[in-house]
Structure 1
Amino acid sequence: MMTTTLPPLGDTMLTHLQDLGFRAGEFSAQPIPADEITRVLVVLKAFYGPDADPSALVPHGREAELRAAITEAAPTLAALGTALRDALEGEHSGVLVRRLGLGGLDLDTRRFVLYALSLCMGSPTATDKIDRKVVWDIKLRPDKVRDGSASTFSEHAYEADFHTDTQYFPTPERYMLLYVVVPAACGGGRSTLRDVRCVKDALARSEDGRWALDLLSRHELPFRIPATFTTTGRRDSVEVTFARVFGDRPSVRFRTDTLRKGLKAFPAYDTPDVRHALDILQAELDDESRRLETLLDADALLAVNNHEVLHGRGAFEDPDRHVLRVRIDDGVPQDAARILLSQDS
């Protein structure tokens, strides 16, 4: 495999190892010095308190001040964040670093470092409206699976269809980081990506595809917000976000089950044309020849531009599989979207 060096990204460099296809690339990253990691912990505990729990961090509210402190304490880490962001705003909608270099650290330290890295890319956001955690553990939750309350892909071990993260919110985050703590020993849980530019190009090659692309670019459709992320957190709360599947920013907003549940809550939008357009899009997404699929090992980092790529995950059986996720807002205005409550809720 040929190793080449790309022009500088931010203040450091990611080394380009290979193109994975469909605007995804594999890179190696400059190691983060141990003394920088130590200083990062000092900074975060100064802002959050000496007993801060990295598994329960919430948005601080003084992100600019915290980012400046992190940048001063850990210039290599800050430059890596800039490099990842620059790559995701350039030629790549997905960036894979197979070894981030954190594997020898304890889990709490890795959580802190991942949070600090996300701060250097933008503003990390709260996953839900109740606990408001920033660093989210993607791990099987058997209790929720048993009682049927697992409402997100991060809580069960089934296949996760192609989707935009937080497509059910008016402003989906621009970036997302996935860091693998423990991969599935069964070999499952493979990550999949579909770049929106490739999807649109494929649809534009047929008359039906162009028709579907046009309809889904013009019509707002209802995405139901999972119970975990509603204002109340109650399962009987029916909240939806109306937005277009294809837009400008984000370029794509999609998830099959939240759309299906949104259309059920607002049946006036569940027209034959809408159903047919969604079927055409789904058929394109199901084409395995135009997707990237990769198995992420321990200490791997996958960074994606959530506005330009759909991602998914294969089913797995290993209950110990553990991935950390952080979503990051870039603060740039997005296409108009609106939240409505179902009159039946």
Structure 2
Amino acid sequence: MHRLARLFPQAYNASVFLSGPLRPSSKVSNIVPHLQAPTLSFAKQSNHVREVFERLKQSGILKISLGFPDNDSKYLERLLLNLHHHHGHQLPITHSATRGWFWDIRPTTTNFQTTNHQARSETMARFPWHTDCCYEDPPPRYFALQVLQPDRYGGGTLSILSVERLIKQLSPSSRAALMCPEYQISTPPEFTKDSIPQSIISSLLATNEGGQARLLRFREDIVTPLSERATQALNELKTVLEGARVSSQLIVNLTSEDLPEGSIILVDNRRWLHARTDVKDPERHLRRVRWDAVPFQNALM
């Protein structure tokens, strides 16, 4: 029931990585654990739910393959309810003032899910490195993407980057500055809710339960540094993300071949950054859910 997903090492170049062709290799890695859910009933089977919980706790990333049609995402809904009831995960957050738990990721030019505002997920454009909901306080710990229609033309590759190993590329002074609450993070208009302010002041880097600085919140286009040291640290972080200092071994590229229809990828939103290449298929359709919004820990705050 558990197998390994593939890792695609390549020489890193920011422009190629985020918008150009990817060259997969046959190298196998144990970075992405893989479980099967042959029937909908697995979403409430205690052994299966416990294994999902343990895999996420250990690796922060997990692929699940469904053995049945599930266009309504009933498996994910029931799985998250059982993670809540039996393993202490918080229930999913709502996406906006008009959307509930689930958000459809598919290109559209007119039928936006939030009135008068097009989300990035509703375009075919690439996504640079980011974490989801970094503007929320607290941000959700996890997100999941269910593939309803993969990109049939080679686009829309999901890439995952380890925060733990990324942070090691930064200088000690930048790590310290990123842990200070000296960054304004603005809420994108498509995700405005009555319950959250237009912006928050926070650190970008935080410590985990063991006191190690391995948790990140980041989306470059909505982050504003509020001090000189915050600016310098943010610039170094962006340089590391954009430059050759990011080792190819940090990156997992998941193409439509790796995430076919019926696949679900679950990701720790604080331990892994993610990005997406340009979408080439206008019928590509994923469904997203975010959950377990718990405090963004930081020993300095």
Report the TM-score when normalising by structure 2.
0.76
Q: 1:188 to 1:291 in 2, by over 3 A?
A: same
* 1:107 alignment partner, SS class: coil
Q: How many residues align?
A: 260
Report the TM-score when normalising by structure 1.
0.67
Q: 1:124 to 1:21 in 2, by over 3 A?
A: farther
Amino acid paired to 2:274:
H
1:309 CA displacement: 1.0
Amino acid paired to 1:174:
R
Report matched runs for 1:255-334 at 5 Å.
255-259=219-223, 263=224, 269-286=225-242, 287=246, 289=248, 290-295=250-255, 296-329=259-292, 332-334=294-296
Q: 2:78 aligned with 1:116, yes or no?
A: yes
Q: Report the equivalent of 1:242.
A: 201
Q: 1:96 to 1:113 in 2, by over 3 A?
A: closer
Unaligned runs of 5+ in 2: 10-28, 84-88, 209-213
1:26 CA displacement: 3.3
Amino acid paired to 2:67:
G
| Structure 1: distance between partners of 2:47 and 2:120 | 31
| Structure 1: distance between partners of 2:156 and 2:100 | 23
Amino acid paired to 2:37:
P
| Structure 2: distance between partners of 1:144 and 1:137 | 11
| Structure 2: distance between partners of 1:120 and 1:21 | 33
Q: 1:20 to 1:81 in 2, by over 3 A?
A: farther
Report matched runs for 1:29-68 at 5 Å.
29-33=35-39, 36=41
Higher alpha-carbon Rg: 1
Q: 1:271 to 1:212 in 2, by over 3 A?
A: same
Q: 1:140 to 1:79 in 2, by over 3 A?
A: farther
CA contact (8 A) 1:179 1:323 kept: yes
1:199 CA displacement: 0.8
1:124 CA displacement: 3.3
* 2:184 alignment partner, SS class: strand
Q: 2:67 aligned with 1:80, yes or no?
A: no
Amino acid paired to 2:187:
I
Q: Which has the higher helix share?
A: 1
Report matched runs for 1:116-155 at 5 Å.
116-121=78-83, 122-143=89-110, 150=117, 152-155=119-122
Q: Report the equivalent of 2:12.
A: none
| Structure 1: distance between partners of 2:60 and 2:70 | 30
| Structure 2: distance between partners of 1:301 and 1:251 | 23
| Structure 1: distance between partners of 2:70 and 2:3 | 28
Equivalent in 151, 166, 190 of residue 199 of structure 1: 166
Amino acid paired to 1:17:
L
Q: Report the equivalent of 2:3.
A: 16
CA contact (8 A) 2:7 2:253 kept: no
1:291 CA displacement: 2.0
Compute the RMSD of aligned alpha carbons. 3.0
CA contact (8 A) 1:82 1:120 kept: no
Amino acid paired to 1:141:
T
CA distances 1:210-236 after superposition (whole Å, capped 9, x unpaired): 222121112331110111222359xxx
- Higher RCO (C-alpha 8 Å, min separation 6): 2
CA distances 1:116-169 after superposition (whole Å, capped 9, x unpaired): 122222333233342241121111121278xx9555332221111111111100
Q: Report the equivalent of 1:214.
A: 176
Q: 2:186 aligned with 1:230, yes or no?
A: no
Amino acid paired to 2:232:
H
CA contact (8 A) 1:168 1:223 kept: yes
User: Equivalent pairs: percent with the same residue?
Assistant: 24
| Structure 1: distance between partners of 2:198 and 2:276 | 26
| Structure 2: distance between partners of 1:241 and 1:297 | 37
| Structure 2: distance between partners of 1:275 and 1:149 | 33
Which has the larger displacement, 184-193 or 152-161? 152-161
Q: 1:151 to 1:112 in 2, by over 3 A?
A: same
Q: Which has the higher strand share?
A: 2
Q: Report the equivalent of 1:159.
A: 126
* 2:165 alignment partner, SS class: helix
CA distances 1:60-93 after superposition (whole Å, capped 9, x unpaired): xxxxxxxxxx7xxx32xx5333212211211x12
* 1:161 alignment partner, SS class: strand
* 1:247 alignment partner, SS class: strand
Unaligned runs of 5+ in 1: 1-13, 38-69, 204-208, 264-268, 337-345
* 1:197 alignment partner, SS class: helix
CA contact (8 A) 1:24 1:94 kept: no
| Structure 1: distance between partners of 2:76 and 2:71 | 10
Q: Report the equivalent of 2:14.
A: none
1:333 CA displacement: 4.1
Q: 2:150 aligned with 1:188, yes or no?
A: no
